[in-house]
Structures are given as C-alpha cells and as structure tokens.
Structure 1
Amino acid sequence: MVLFQRFSSFLKSYFKRHRVTRNVAYIQGQSPEPKIREYFYYIDHQGMLFLDDARMKNFTSCFKEKKFLRFFFNQIRINSSDRYPEFPYISLCGRERNFVRCDDCPIVFTHVLKHDDEFYLAHNHADVFLKIKFEPEKIFMLPETGRVYHPAYERAGSIGLVRSKLAIEFSHQFKFEDGEGNPPTHFTFFGTTYNLKTDWYYKIKDVA
C-alpha cells in the first residue's frame, strides 16, 4: 500500500504539468468526486503495463517495479461500473480508480517457473510476484490468430494470453491430429504428452 501511495503521489505531480486526452474523453488524475482520482492504463500483447496516453509504448516507458505490478494486477478485475466501458477492466486502490484496456487479455503469461516440483506461469513481468499454477492440458491455441491461451483468474475474465515468445516455444510441442486448421490436440511438456482440453475456453467465450 505504501508503494502504491508513493506512486500515486508521483502521478499527481506529473499530471499537474501534463494534461493529455485521447479519443476517449478523460484527463489523467481527474477527480470526478471529492477525494477520488482516476487514471487510465493500457496492457499490450506482451503483458507490459503503460499509461494509456503514453506516446511511446515500449520497454523504456512501461512500468517495471515488480511490487507495484503485483499490487496492480492483484487488484485488477472486470469493470462492472458505468464509467468508461471502453476500459473493460479496473484496478482499485483505496480511492483511486485505475481503468484498464488491453490489446487482448489483461493477464499475459511471460514464462514458466518451477517451485517445489510444481510448474507455474509467471505473468505481466513481475516474475515470482505474479504467478498461477500451470495446467499443460489446458493450453489452447486459436487457429484464426495463432494466439495461445491458458486459464487465468475469474475476476480478470478467466482467460490469459501467452506472450508470443513463450507461445512459439510451446508451439514446437503441439500435435494437430484434427488438422492444422483446428486447435492442437496434444501438447508435450517435460516429456509428458497431454490430451488438450478446449472446452474451458469455449465455455467462457459462450458466456461472454
């Protein structure tokens, strides 16, 4: 919480000097109600977090402080408010509302971690601070785009994107018994071949 408050102070001082708007009508750090502040963020398909109106979105301009990322992504959830539907997700911190849009999914898995003989997928560049248990049998590739997905937190939409670098590594271990125009049927991970389950993905998309 102290880290987030310190970061909040930085934002307030920054936006006293910079007032920027996008196609969506907002001002970073705006206060629509007494003691309420609103900020706007963007997550790219590699899982990096930026201020939404940053002109350059690359490794130099993304947020890198791992403890901040842990707090931010632990708070992220579907935006069920009536404010800024263009931003489908929100991360709340006390009286701050952090609205979030993304290229695909807010949770983006970056690499595999091993801990106590269990495998995890780390996400959004926070290393061990943000991870979810890896379920190899639930890796899913969407044939139309080639993008790869894995289950994520229900509060954040239940589906997480696998970043392209890791997805390419996984793709070498796919088997397509139904043809390459359909999702892969098998995935081999550390010598074990799994029959892939796709129903979880389609059930979530049907509900959505």
Structure 2
Amino acid sequence: MLFAGPCTGLRGLLCLRTVRLVSQCGTRSNVIYTQGQSPEPRIREYFYYVDHQGQLFLDDTKMKNFVTCFKDKDFLSFFFTRLRRNESGRYQEHFPFLSLCGRERNFLRCDDRPLVFTHLMPALSGTKMGALRNGALGSGDTLQRLSFCWGGDKLSVPFQPESLYMHPGSGRVYHPCSEHLGGVGLIRSALAMELSPCFLYPPEAGQSGQPTHFLWAGQQHTLTNQLSGWFPPEDEDEPGEGGVG
C-alpha cells in the first residue's frame, strides 16, 4: 500500500523517473512526465490509470493487476469524489481527468471510462443477488446501489435498471453517473455477466439483437437507451470485444 491515507501524496514513496506514455492502441505518444514532478513551487503532479475492471494504478506501473492496484477505500473515495474533467491546460489530451488534492494534481487516463461500477450492493443486509433478481424485495424497494471503483459504500450511486445500456458494438454494459465524470460509467465484466440473464430481447432477434427490457426485482423495466447519446455514432459499428462487459 503506497498511501497511508488521503492527500498524503507520494513523497518519498516513488522512484521518480521520466515516462513516455504508451496509448491504449499501442502507439507511442510524445507526452513525457515524471511522477512527483513540480512544475511550480510547492506543486506536485502524479499520473494514474483506471482499467476496465475499475482498478486504479500509478500510470507507469509495469505490471497492472490486483496486487499492484490501490485498495485503500479512504484513498479511493478521496480520489474519485474529487475527480473532474481536466481543464487545467496540462496533459488534457492524454489525461482527460484530474483529481485535486491540496497542492497535488492527480491526472487520470482510463481504458474505457474513468468510473467503473464494480459491485451491486443489496438493499437489505445479507440479501443475495439471486434473490434480488427473483423479486424477493418486491417492486417498491429503491435502496439498491451500484458501487464503483472498489470503493464499497463510500463510492456508490442509486441503481437505475431502466437506464442500463448495452453497447451494440462492444457488448459492454453502461450505467449513468455524474456528468462531471463523463455521464456514463462502465459496468465491469463480472458484474455485467451477473446482470446479463435479466436482459430481455425481441423474440425475432434472440440474444444477438439489442435488449429492450430488463427484468429486476419483480418488474419489467423498459430500457431507455438514453446513454447511447454519449457515444460517437461511429462507435456503434465497431466490432465486439468478447461480449457482455
């Protein structure tokens, strides 16, 4: 664990080195940074990356996996609740999001979306996901929440079943989030697979078409597909990436 708590920074914990960023498409860009660099007196800058499973890393971490990602929920909450679009004039093209922590600037890039929903939190303590799907809570319960970026109950939004959106090109599933975080959050693969049996499709399309409804907590929700407006039109024609999630 690199952080003892929020806003402690990385002073003395990192080997400062210059990094040439490799974009996710595999081509090298010309952006160069040094972790912990100080472009102005008493200002420090750090660079982070979020993968499609919602795990947060230092951007220059060579082996990105569960062992090397940040896990402290207090730090994750502090980082993501302060995350905004990067309008600082620095690194905007390569790190489109920025989390400010006092005199620290924490730049962020992402594999897909900066916010990734990782867990569905039951409305009642001890309630299992299967029971929720089967309508055990009845139609009036609205307390279910989606937790994001491994923050548990410190980072969550109300679950809106009707607002789920399955991208027709990639098959990934998305859910609304705050507009300052991009308006759309990705649902990580494991959770998307749990939710996939609840999608309903037109009889003539089978499961190869676009779902029209979502069956949840005893109700059949008509999908609004309003999130489609957040994706460029050309994205709709991209080939799939292995199905749901």
* Same fold at TM > 0.5: yes
Match for residue 144 of structure 1 among 142, 152, 169: 169
Distance 2:59 2:20 in 1: 9
Query: What is the CA RMSD across the aligned residues, in angstroms?
Result: 1.8
SS of 1:3's equivalent in the other structure is coil
For residues 89-168 of structure 1, what are the structure 2 equivalents within 5 Å? 89-115=97-123, 117=141, 118-168=143-193
Q: How many pairs were matched up?
A: 201
Distance 1:181 1:81 in 2: 43
For residues 13-32 of structure 1, what are the structure 2 equivalents within 5 Å? 13-15=12-14, 17-23=15-21, 24-32=31-39
Does structure 1 retain, via aligned residues, the 8 Å contact 2:18–2:32?
no
Distance 1:203 1:89 in 2: 20
Q: Does 1:190 align with 2:222?
A: no
SS of 2:11's equivalent in the other structure is helix
SS of 2:75's equivalent in the other structure is helix
Greater CA drift, 132-141 or 110-119:
110-119
Does structure 1 retain, via aligned residues, the 8 Å contact 2:79–2:99?
yes
Larger helix percent: 1
Match for residue 57 of structure 1 among 54, 59, 64: 64
Does structure 1 retain, via aligned residues, the 8 Å contact 2:165–2:228?
no
TM-score by length of 2: 0.77
For residues 1-12 of structure 1, what are the structure 2 equivalents within 5 Å? 3-6=5-8, 8=9, 11-12=10-11
